[in-house]
Amino acid sequence: MKANGTDRPVIRPLPAIDRARQVTDALAHYVEDARLQAGDRLPAERELMAALAVGRSTIREAIRHFQALGVIETRKGSGTYLLKPVSRDTVHMSLSLDTAHLRDVLLQTLEVRRGIECEAGMVAARRRTAKDLMVIEEKLDDMERVHIAKGTSGPEDLAFHLAVYDATHNPLFRQLLEQMRETFERFWTHPFDRQDFARRSFPFHRTLFNAIAAQDTEAARRETLKILDVVEEDIKEMSR
Chunked mean pLDDT (size 10), the chain, 240 residues:
53 55 83 87 90 87 80 88 75 56 81 91 97 96 89 80 93 77 59 74 94 98 95 85
- Give the amino acid at 107: L
Per-domain boundaries in the chain: 1-92, 102-238
- pLDDT recorded at residue 140: 95
- pLDDT recorded at residue 2: 46
Q: What is the largest CA-CA distance in the chain?
A: 66
Tell me which DSSP letter residue 94 carries.
-
Decide: helix, strand or coil at residue 62: helix
- Give the amino acid at 97: L
In this structure, are residues 90 and 196 in contact, taking their beta carbons and an 8 Å threshold? no
* Distances from the Cα of 71 to the Cα of 36, 45, 238, angstroms: 12, 17, 40
Nearest to 187 by CA among 86, 84, 129, 112: 112
6 vs 29: CA distance, rounded Å: 42
- Give the amino acid at 28: A
Q: Report pTM.
A: 0.63
- Decide if 1-92 and 102-238 have a common fold: no
Q: Which fold would CATH assign to domain 102-238?
A: Four Helix Bundle (Hemerythrin (Met), subunit A) (1.20.120)
- Give the amino acid at 238: M
- Helix or strand run (H / E) with residue 130: helix 130-150
133 vs 118: CA distance, rounded Å: 18
- pLDDT recorded at residue 21: 74
- pLDDT recorded at residue 98: 61
Rg (alpha carbons) of the chain, rounded to whole number? 20
Burial of 198 (0-12, 13-18, 19+ CB in 10 A): buried
Q: Which fold would CATH assign to domain 1-92?
A: Arc Repressor Mutant, subunit A (1.10.10)
In this structure, are residues 22 and 61 in contact, taking their beta carbons and an 8 Å threshold? no
- pLDDT recorded at residue 66: 83
Which long-range contacts link 208-211 to residues 24+ away (Cβ below 8 Å)?
208/121, 208/164, 209/136, 209/137, 209/140, 211/121, 211/125
In this structure, are residues 223 and 211 in contact, taking their beta carbons and an 8 Å threshold? yes
7 vs 117: CA distance, rounded Å: 45
pLDDT digits (tens, 9 = 90+) for 150-181: 877 677 888 899 899 999 999 888 877 766 66
Residue 95: partners with Cβ closer than 8 Å, 6 or more residues away: 180, 183
